[in-house]
Chain A
Amino acid sequence: MNGSVTISHDELQAWLVDRIAFYLDRPPENIDPTVELARYGIDSVYAISIISDIEDHLQVEVDVAEARKRETVTALTDYLLELTG
């Protein structure tokens, strides 16, 4: 399915960092997009919440298993950009 929203890499990454910062209750500037999300404690429960947020925001369907193979914000951003084409 094609995304109905066009979004730049930087915009999408900033949005993702913001969501993750919200779930972790910490300032977004303390989140390094190249660090594995598991290191921050984004466990499976939060992963589902974040993927649902992404689906709402980008209006795309995301395969949970595929998305969870992307371990960092950067990798996840690249993957989502591919999806939205």
Chain B
Amino acid sequence: MERQVPAELSPAHRIAADLDAYLGDPMDDEAGPFSYKAIVEAEERDEIPAGAVDAVRAWGFPAYLVPSRLGGRLTTLEELFFVTRGISRRSVTVAVMYGSGLLAVNPVWLWGSERQRATVADGLLRGDLACFGVSEADHGSDVMASESQADQEGDDLLLNGTKWPVGNATRGRFVTTYAKTGSRDFSLLLVDKRELAPDCWSVLPPVRTVGLRGHDLSGVMFMDARVPADCVIGRRGSGLVQTLKTLQITRTAIAALSVGTIDAVVRIGMEYSRHRTLYGTDIYHIPVIRDHLVKAHLDLLIAECVAIPVTRALTVAPGRLSLWSSIVKYFVPVMGEEVVANIGTVLAARGYLREGVAHGVFQKLQRDHAIASIFEGTTHVNLANVAGQLPFLIGSSDGEEAEDDQAEELLDDLFRWTRTPPTWEPDGRILQLTNEGLDEIGRRFEATAEEVLTAASTHAAPGVAAELKELIGGIAGLRAKLVAGIRAAEGDTSSVAALARARRYCEIHAMVSCMRTWLHNRRDFGGPFADGAWLVLCLQRLLQRTQPDTVLSEEFLPSLEEAMFRTFDERRWFSLLSLAEDDRPVRPSEE
């Protein structure tokens, strides 16, 4: 047999492992500001642990908000996603503080002048924070109703209005402000607090929140604030389209808050289930407890399959992000909430205490994670985005769909973990407001199904191919029904039924993402990953959303549980990687 050189994982994996080692094991009380002990104690005082932000800075996290061309370390969204996942399994609060900052500066990277880019890059690398002021108390998701206004006065603009609630509004130096600059036009203004006269702006008091305690959630008010006209980011009047495009990037990254949280709660749930003894043995032996933990672990694997390719899309297929980022932003946070709720039932009373198991951090993780489905477009808003595109996703694609081999190449770039995506060269114009009916993941369902069945018949473990055949037949049925439903609805994209169709579209997208992840990585990963049993389990798990009676195949569970327990014992991230053959694929070494 030919001996292959094992392929190397993309650099994101090494960077994340480095951060993880640097921050230490959160379960270890001696791990410093990122131990659960320190995190819970500080939260009781509405604070982030002393030294936590310094530690993250010392590791160099702020540089991951600045593109490499401008002196930072941000090269791919995949890398940012991985480091954010690493921080989020300890503290979603710290991740949100930097995430809100990224949201604020992305318009500068995407459309800003060289001078704006240089100023902001320099500030961020020195530790300054930024905030994104779009929301207003009275207008929420309805950003077209925003009242803040910037009127021309000589060479300057006079800015008036109040932005609330805004993350980093008090501590942030830069305020990316969404304001009216014409009777029906909005612009994004880069406001530097340091350049403002002191009496023309103020911050609003801290907002008391359920979670993210210690995060600077407040607001900022401008009263005849004089700013130079060239603080407008990009072309005047394009604030709305800029905001919608910018959100595509951070919406995708928000899935990292959920994957990090899922990792944390599964770990806490497993720890508890192995130490809690009832009726003479540990509670992992109670079938329903085992079921919760196995399903939560599968949900994490599904989240990896769904989110990782879309992070890679920023530099591989940026024109597809309008649809895919909303799918990820809907799907992964909602799944995260379900996992958290289920693990809460495993912990029972211990999930309700602010002390005890893992220092009572579970309830904090739950409260913090709840933000994921709210900000940057609520679950409904993201489903509405998907619903609006559905009519175009089922019609003929007018020959615009990439040719078969081009599409296969694109899918390999998206799904194959050993491929390194190209470096991000920010350019707002390559992002689009819609996919114009193009979706290589969802639309190529039949080709994907065929490839999976062919590969499974020769390469999968015994029993897997037959099981996949049946599952895929069922999914094809769901998909046909959905397509017929979209057709029959004749352009209705806003009713409750339209949102339900969008939800189904997202579920099928998740199933195809699992299939693609198997297809594109089975050779590089080998081991139980290549056997495909996990794919059967993930598809069964996803089908439970539409057919709750679907059961997980018991015969495929032991290899999954073995990987889950080994990962737990070795204190490594729960991941599809735990199913790969030993030492494959290779983790890249320090450059």
B211-249 contact mask (Cβ, 8 Å, vs A): 1 or 0: 000000000000000000000001101101110010000
Stretch at the interface among A2-10, A40-48, A57-65, A72-80: A40-48
A24-51 contact mask (Cβ, 8 Å, vs B): 1 or 0: 1111000000010011110101001100
Given contacts A22-B237, A23-B241, A52-B184, A43 and B429 within 8 Å (CB-CB) = no
Q: Among A40, A43, A48, which residue has its beta carbon within 8 angstroms of that of B436?
A: A40
A-side contacts of B437, CB under 8 Å: 39
B-side contacts of A35, CB under 8 Å: 436
Distance, CA A27 to CA B433, complexed state (A):
13
A25 to chain B, nearest CB (A): 4
Q: Among B238, B434, B436, which residue has its beta carbon within 8 angstroms of that of A25?
A: B238
Q: How large is the interface on B (under 10, 10 to 19, 20 to 34, 35 or more residues)?
A: 20 to 34
B238 and A22: CB pair below 8 A?
Answer: yes
Which residues of B, 263-301, contact A by the 8 Å Cβ criterion? none
Q: Among B238, B322, B428, which residue has its beta carbon within 8 angstroms of that of A41?
A: B322
B187 to chain A, nearest CB (A): 12
B-side contacts of A52, CB under 8 Å: 183-184
- B interface, by DSSP: helix, strand, loop or mixed? loop
Distance, CA A38 to CA B431, complexed state (A):
17
A9-26 contact mask (Cβ, 8 Å, vs B): 1 or 0: 000000000000011111
A-side contacts of B241, CB under 8 Å: 23-25
B429 and A25: CB pair below 8 A?
Answer: yes
- 28 A-B pairs with C-beta separation under 8 A: A22-B237, A23-B241, A24-B241, A24-B432, A24-B433, A25-B238, A25-B242, A25-B245, A25-B428, A25-B429, A26-B429, A27-B429, A38-B392, A39-B392, A39-B436, A39-B437, A40-B432, A40-B436, A41-B322, A41-B432, A41-B433, A41-B434, A45-B144, A45-B240, A49-B184, A49-B185, A52-B183, A52-B184
A-side contacts of B322, CB under 8 Å: 41
A45 (CB) vs chain B CBs: closest residue: B144
Distance, CA A45 to CA B235, complexed state (A):
19
Distance, CA A23 to CA B238, complexed state (A):
7
B-side contacts of A27, CB under 8 Å: 429
A-side contacts of B237, CB under 8 Å: 22
B-side contacts of A24, CB under 8 Å: 241, 432-433
4 A-B pairs closest in CB distance: A41-B433, A41-B434, A25-B241, A49-B184
Task: A25-B235, A25-B429, A41-B322 given; name 19 further pairs at CB < 8 Å.
Answer: A22-B235, A22-B237, A24-B241, A25-B241, A26-B429, A26-B432, A39-B392, A39-B436, A40-B433, A40-B434, A40-B436, A41-B432, A41-B433, A41-B434, A43-B388, A45-B144, A49-B184, A49-B185, A52-B184
A-side contacts of B234, CB under 8 Å: 25
Distance, CA A32 to CA B428, complexed state (A):
20
Pick the most buried of A27, A39, A43, A48: most chain B CB atoms within 10 A of its CB: A39
Distance, CA A25 to CA B245, complexed state (A):
9
A-side contacts of B436, CB under 8 Å: 35, 39-40
B491 (CB) vs chain A CBs: closest residue: A38
A56 (CB) vs chain B CBs: closest residue: B183
A-side contacts of B434, CB under 8 Å: 39-41
